[in-house]
Structure 1
Amino acid sequence: MLQGERLVLREWRESDLQTLALLRNDVELQTLLLARARPNSIERVRSWLSERSSRDDMAFFIAAARVDDTVYGYLQVANIDRYNEIGELGICLAHNAQGNGLAREAYQLLEPYLRRVLGLRKLTLHVLASNARAVGFYLKNGYRQVGKLERHFRINDQYHDVLIMERFLSE
């Protein structure tokens, strides 16, 4: 478990399933994450969490309030390549947990763990170019744009650009 001032990053628990099901069924939120929301039962969410937590190439954390363990969302680093010391970052926070510094605190807790424990030196990510809030967050946290996939992600009947960003982790 990683503890901050307001947050803890921890493993998932059965008591998290209801909140995580709401996040996984939130069409708008899943679209911003470049995912497709589909009906997710509690059992499907449990299977999704079990699969993620059992992968050797992934680090997965629940972001919860330090005071009362309210679940705000999750962070993951997928496709961890230990030889090249890289991984792909993903952050999902509920709408009511956005805009108040929780993502920044969560990221600041996660980065030293990735560097010191997992030995990663660089993170990459994909983000909708139109998601100004997320792009701004990543730029403020040291990421830089290294590419753009044009008309790459379909939302309804329109295709949207996706930015590729990276950040070298530093001591």
Structure 2
Amino acid sequence: MDTTLWNPLPVRFLEGERVYLRPIGQDDAEGYFRMLFNPEVRRLTGTQHSFTLEGVRRYIEGKSADDSAVLLLIALSDTDEVIGDIALQDINHVNRNANVRIAIDSDNHKGKGYGPESIRLLLEYGFGVLNLHRIELQVFAYNERAIKAYEKVGFSREGVQRDALYYNHQYHDSIMMSILEDEFKALYHKQ
């Protein structure tokens, strides 16, 4: 039997130049749990809930069985260091749409293009493999870096949900953005 197939290297589900996306497993639960309590990640994502490690384990188990979502970890290609997570959620195969969310865990990894590269990888999968037509997201108005990153990848602003989030004693707007399959192809699949 060839034992090289069973080596401990992480699976690289979607691979880019500097990052790859891999499935999340129970071995990742503690790191994922810690990321959920990173104050900056919580602020940028509007996370208000408290979590338990056991709850995170159940969430990971549930997501692996959920055919309407793809939850992946973002890792650096050269070191395998996990720097965040990304998800394609609420996948609707009838209407061919879904939404995407992303979180980069550390300020050391922000502003280096890892987020846009990760999003492009997931969009390629969503449009090219899952045959989606529209992928949307919501971002809070105070997260200007993320808005610029989404626009860089090709998302367009569609509207604003005024005062959609109450966080840290203030209301904040939520910006709705989307990208369509043909827009993505025009940007990344030029003939």
TM-score, length of structure 2 as denominator length: 0.83
Asked which structure has the greater CA Rg, the reply is: 2
Q: State the match for 2:102 in structure 1.
A: 91
Structure 2 Cα separation of the partners of residues 137 and 70 of structure 1? 22
Letter in 2 for 1:12: I
Q: Is the 8 A contact 2:69 2:90 kept in 1?
A: yes
Q: List structure 1 runs of 4+ shifted beyond 3 angstroms.
A: none
Picking from 49, 65, 70, the partner of 2:60 is 49
Q: State the match for 1:148 in structure 2.
A: 160
Deviation at 1:129, TM superposition (A): 1.0
Instruction: Mark the runs of 5 or more structure 2 residues left unpaired by the alignment.
Output: 1-12, 186-191
Structure 2 Cα separation of the partners of residues 125 and 3 of structure 1? 22
Letter in 2 for 1:56: D
Picking from 103, 112, 116, the partner of 2:124 is 112
RMSD: 1.5
Cα distance per residue 1:87-109 (max 9 Å; x no partner): 01101111222111111221222
The residue matched to 1:75 in structure 2 has which SS?
strand
Q: How many residue pairs get matched? A: 170
Instruction: Mark the runs of 5 or more structure 1 residues left unpaired by the alignment.
Output: none
Structure 2 Cα separation of the partners of residues 168 and 28 of structure 1? 30
Correspondences of 1:1-171 after superposition (within 5 Å) = 1-38=13-50, 40-95=51-106, 96-169=108-181, 170-171=184-185
% of aligned pairs identical? 28
Structure 2 Cα separation of the partners of residues 17 and 90 of structure 1? 19
The residue matched to 1:163 in structure 2 has which SS?
strand
Structure 2 Cα separation of the partners of residues 73 and 147 of structure 1? 27
